[in-house]
């Protein structure tokens, strides 16, 4: 049965790959993109919905008829000038509002990119926020919840991150020395795994590390 998917974070590294995969996958009849600014795209099965993420009425209307939600939104400390409150609004508030509203409207599956090491008890605020998001999502009791925990993401970003480009080269060189779940992974592979796993519709809470990501490539 073909489903309607909603995607948030389509302009990011994983989100861009998700859009490309979803719009060409026959398992999905319609793709809704929720964005803050207009996108210059034109695909027959893709609808762009520009909203104010602080406006709950707009958020709710944009999420109507969602059957599976893909969440790939996220920011960096640099983008928010190391402001933890601003960081939390993007990495915690938006995903949780999206999940809460979509669940209320009947969405039965939520698929999200988290991070290896995510844990709400961690002192590192990045990993703590990710862990808090996961904890709240579990509480919502989606029939199918898929949490992806990749390590360093490989791929070309739209913005320049010199330190990250250098880090990618180093991590790829020493990848064979790392424990499996900490191995760097291509963002395109994470996106592919998210879509393929979603189509299998596994019940309950499902966690995907490097091995599970690589096992869901077709």
pLDDT in tens, 19-32: 999 999 999 999 99
Q: Which two tokens stand for residue 85?
A: 């409150």
DSSP 3-state assignment of 47? strand
> Locate tokens 């958020």: which residue?
59
- For this structure, is 126 an active site residue? yes
Pairing mode, if any, of strands 109-113 and 185-186? unpaired
- Domain layout of the chain by residue ranges: 3-214
CATH topology of domain 3-214: Rossmann fold (3.40.50)
Q: Give the C-alpha separation, 168 to 152, whole Å.
A: 7
DSSP 3-state assignment of 191? helix
- For this structure, is 130 an active site residue? yes
Structure confidence at residue 47 as a pLDDT band (50, 70, 90): very high
Dump pLDDT digits (tens) for 81-131: 777 787 888 889 999 999 999 999 999 999 999 999 999 999 988 899 899
Q: Give the C-alpha separation, 14 to 52, whole Å.
A: 22
List 87, 130, 208, 210, catalytic entry: 130
Total-model pTM: 0.91
pLDDT at res. 159: 53
Q: Is 81 left (phi over 0), alpha (psi -120 to 50) or beta?
A: left
Instruction: Report, in angstroms and rounded to the nearest whole number, the Rg of the chain calculated over CA atoms.
Output: 17
């Amino acid at each position: 049965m073909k489903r309607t998917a909603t995607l948030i974070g389509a302009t990011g590294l994983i989100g861009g790959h998700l859009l490309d995969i979803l719009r060409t996958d026959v398992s999905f009849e319609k793709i809704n993109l929720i964005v803050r600014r207009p996108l210059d795209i034109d695909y027959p099965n893709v609808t762009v919905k520009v909203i104010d993420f602080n406006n709950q009425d707009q958020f709710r209307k944009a999420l109507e008829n969602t059957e599976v939600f893909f969440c790939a939104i996220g920011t960096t400390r640099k983008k928010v000038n190391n402001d933890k409150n601003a960081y939390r609004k993007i990495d915690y508030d938006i995903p949780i509002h999206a999940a809460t509203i979509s669940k209320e409207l009947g969405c039965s599956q939520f698929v999200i990119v988290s991070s290896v090491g995510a844990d709400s008890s961690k002192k590192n605020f990045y990993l703590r926020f990710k862990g808090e998001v996961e904890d709240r999502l579990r509480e919502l009791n989606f029939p199918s919840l898929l949490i992806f925990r990749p390590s360093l993401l490989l791929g070309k970003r739209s913005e320049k991150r010199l330190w990250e480009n250098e880090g990618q080269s180093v991590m790829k060189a020493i990848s064979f020395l790392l424990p499996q779940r900490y191995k760097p992974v291509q963002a395109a592979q994470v996106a592919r795994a998210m879509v393929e796993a979603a189509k299998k519709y596994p019940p309950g809470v499902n966690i995907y590390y490097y091995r599970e990501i690589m096992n869901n490539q077709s």
